Amino acid sequence: MGLPRPEELISNVNLKKMPSKPWMDTLPVEFKPGFYCYGAKGKNLEYVNFPNARDFHVTEQDWKLPEDWKNIVIEGIKQRLERFRTFHVFMDICVRCGACADKCHFFIGTGDPKNMPVLRAELLRSVYRKYFTTGGKLFGRNGGARDLDIDVLKELWYYFYQCTECRRCSLFCPYGIDTAEITIIGRELLNLLGLNTDWISGPVANCYRTGNHLGIEPHTMKSTLEFMCNDIEDITGIRIEPPINKKGAEILFVTPSGDLFADPGIYNAMGYMMLFHEIGLDYTWSTFASEGGNFGFFTSMEMAKRLHTKIYEEAKRLKVKWIIGGECGHMWRVWHQYHNTWYGPIDFLEEPVSPITGTKFENAKSNKIVHISEFTADLIKHGVLKFDKSRNDNLIVTFHDSCNPSRGMGLFEEPRYIIKNVCNHFYEMPDETIREQTFCCGGGSGLNAGEIMELRMRGGFPRANAVRYVHEKFGVNLLANICAIDRATLPPLMDYWVPGVRVSGVTELVANAMIMKGEKERTMNLRMEPLPGKEEE
């Protein structure tokens, strides 16, 4: 019979093993829906003066590159070798021991060998060898080198936009080789040719113009905060007037704009305002510094710096003393590891001291920015806040460590301390999936676009799998986190893998349990759902 047996039909590889092709021979990359982000729009690239601005369509054969694109990339590599010791050292010292191979959530979830961190880096390393090392020039392929051609470029694009810069691999590397750093530089190179994604370049352009990724204009931001205050009044009976662009306030508060618009981030934003109101904090929002996040970081260092500058500029203009930052992942990687270098010395602000408890935040004395979790944990420690933990009794909580605050900062205890003080039921996920070993949500570094839902589901599977374990074992039904991208990407991830688990920020939990002075008897949580014991019969 001419028909194949089913097992022959379904197998990608023959059941009797065929010799595999070396990875350099598996080009060109096939762009399949669900696996790649849509290309950038010309107008967005142009708005922030990115080179080669044009509508970029990934699946079109012709990527409309400049004539000398190859030189641009090679010159770009040269410049970055001279500028980044990380890049230079990481290009040279990998011994391909394979310790990182099975640490990447994308490899674990896809089985695609080019998602092994070592190979993702090797994609670029092979080009580096060809043009910058004697061995690569002399021995070519046998020296692990290859020419840069259009297929290689497309492969670089495909895989550098399949890395969420989570740094889990760098934790296990005996030399500390950081794939995030390589991806960051790889993306910088791609951006020299205008090879960006719509999901990243759109927010970047918005952020430049309006101060935030979503493109919220000042008057809209004000109304949005007021809408939230209406809800707060309905829930607590307390009327809050959000201070906006208030000169001379003590503290500038900046959070990712996701918290101003999207469910469930909005509940966190309500939480911030309730907390600040309760302790009588003299603070202000800024409509211009209305974004703590920085999608520029996913395009180039320069763009990141261009977007971040507004935060200190606004702090200066509004004459505040110091800054509090809301819950966000990559925002804190940038704020913690880059801000001070980009804008410092920050001598126009004062060393942060909590006006409520008098605590000096020693660890932020130079760049004058304190994380909301550090700030809140300190308040709780000093007994400033009163809680009715039973309001969160319907929640069985676990905590997802976001990649950036974990491996780019080390913020582990503060949020846990807060959660344990406001919730009665808290359970940890297995050790190898939390804290510094935490698994990515699958949508970091600008990969939370809707069109790659499949990729996100696969990349997020290791995380979801650990949640499912505590869901089944302890009945966990709430996944708390301190990242706006998490709050956007984890709900669908949970819906797919662990239905029944909802997602929230930590401050939402705080505000829900916090007993406010002069509040009415609460019957609803911040989501306007009945509190436990207050359900209508």
Partner 1 sequence: MGIGLAFIIVLGLILFAYIGTELLGLNSLFAVVFPYVALIVFIVGFINRVVKWGKSPVPFRIPTTAGQQFSLPWIKYSKIDNPATGWGVALRMFFEIALFRSLFRNTKAEIMNGKLYVGSNKWLWIGALAFHYSFLIILIRHLRFFMAQTPWCISVVDSVDSFWQIGLPMVYMTDIIIAAALLYLLGRRIFNPQVKYISLPSDYFPLFLIIGIIATGVMMRYFARVDITAIKELTLGLAYLKPTVPEGVGSLFYIHLFLVSVLFAYFPFSKLMHMGGVFLSPTRNLANNNRMERHVNPWDYPVKHRHYEEYEDEFREKMKKAGIPVEKE
Partner 2 sequence: MSIRDFLSKKRKAIVNKSFEWTVSTYPEESQSFLKDNSRQFTNPIGYNLYQSIEQIVEKIINEEPIDNFITPLEEIIRIRAVQDFTPSQAVGFIFLIKKAFQDELEKEIEPLKVLDFLSRIDSLTLIAFDIFMKYREKIYDLKSKELIDRTWWILKKWNIVSEIPDKTVETK
Query: For the chain, how many residues are written?
Result: 537
Look at the block and give the residue holding tokens 């990998």.
94
Nearer to partner 2, 20 or 366 (CB): 20
DSSP conformation letters of 265-301? HHHHHHHHHHHHHHTT--EEB-SSS-----GGGGT-H
Nearer to partner 2, 136 or 462 (CB): 462
CB atoms within 10 A of CB 513: 23
Q: Residue 179 binds what, of partner 1, partner 2, none (CB under 5 to 8 Å, by partner type)?
A: none
Residue 100 CA, chain-centre distance (Å), reads 21
Nearer to partner 2, 14 or 341 (CB): 14
The residues binding partner 2 (CB under 8 A) are 5-7, 9-13, 15, 17-18, 20, 32, 34-35, 101-102, 107-113, 223-224, 227, 261-264, 266, 430, 432-433, 450-451, 453-455, 457-458, 461-462, 465-466, 469, 488, 491-492, 495-497
Nearest CA among 485, 462, 505, 464 for reference residue 200? 485
Residue 335 CA, chain-centre distance (Å), reads 13
CB of 113 vs partner 1, minimal distance in Å: 6
Nearer to partner 1, 42 or 143 (CB): 143
CB of 2 vs partner 1, minimal distance in Å: 33
Q: Residue 83 binds what, of partner 2, partner 1, none (CB under 5 to 8 Å, by partner type)?
A: partner 1
Look at the block and give the residue holding tokens 């290309």.
39
Nearer to partner 1, 327 or 414 (CB): 414
CB of 23 vs partner 2, minimal distance in Å: 8
Q: Residue 94 binds what, of partner 1, partner 2, none (CB under 5 to 8 Å, by partner type)?
A: partner 1
Cis bond upstream, residue 218 (ω within 30): no
What is the side-by-side order of every strand in the sheet holding 397-399? 397-399, 478-481, 502-505
End-to-end CA distance of the chain: 67
E strands, 381-433, are 397-399
CB of 536 vs partner 1, minimal distance in Å: 38
CB of 496 vs partner 1, minimal distance in Å: 25
Q: Residue 224 binds what, of partner 2, partner 1, none (CB under 5 to 8 Å, by partner type)?
A: partner 2
Q: Residue 88 binds what, of partner 2, partner 1, none (CB under 5 to 8 Å, by partner type)?
A: partner 1
CB of 430 vs partner 2, minimal distance in Å: 5
CB of 454 vs partner 1, minimal distance in Å: 23
Look at the block and give the residue holding tokens 């359900």.
535
Nearer to partner 2, 86 or 523 (CB): 523
Nearer to partner 1, 343 or 497 (CB): 343
Q: Residue 50 binds what, of partner 2, partner 1, none (CB under 5 to 8 Å, by partner type)?
A: none
Instruction: Mention every residue, 6+ apart, whose C-beta is less than 8 A from residue 29.
Output: 151, 154, 155, 158
Nearest CA among 212, 287, 222, 299 for reference residue 257? 212
CB of 179 vs partner 2, minimal distance in Å: 17
- Bridge-based pairing state of the strands 502-505 and 478-481: parallel
Q: Residue 67 binds what, of partner 2, partner 1, none (CB under 5 to 8 Å, by partner type)?
A: none
CB of 348 vs partner 1, minimal distance in Å: 14
Nearest CA among 381, 268, 284 for reference residue 326? 268
Nearer to partner 1, 102 or 454 (CB): 102
Residue 5 CA, chain-centre distance (Å), reads 46
Strand partners, 449: none
Q: Residue 288 binds what, of partner 1, partner 2, none (CB under 5 to 8 Å, by partner type)?
A: partner 1
Cα–Cα dist 53/202, whole Å = 13
Nearer to partner 1, 387 or 417 (CB): 417
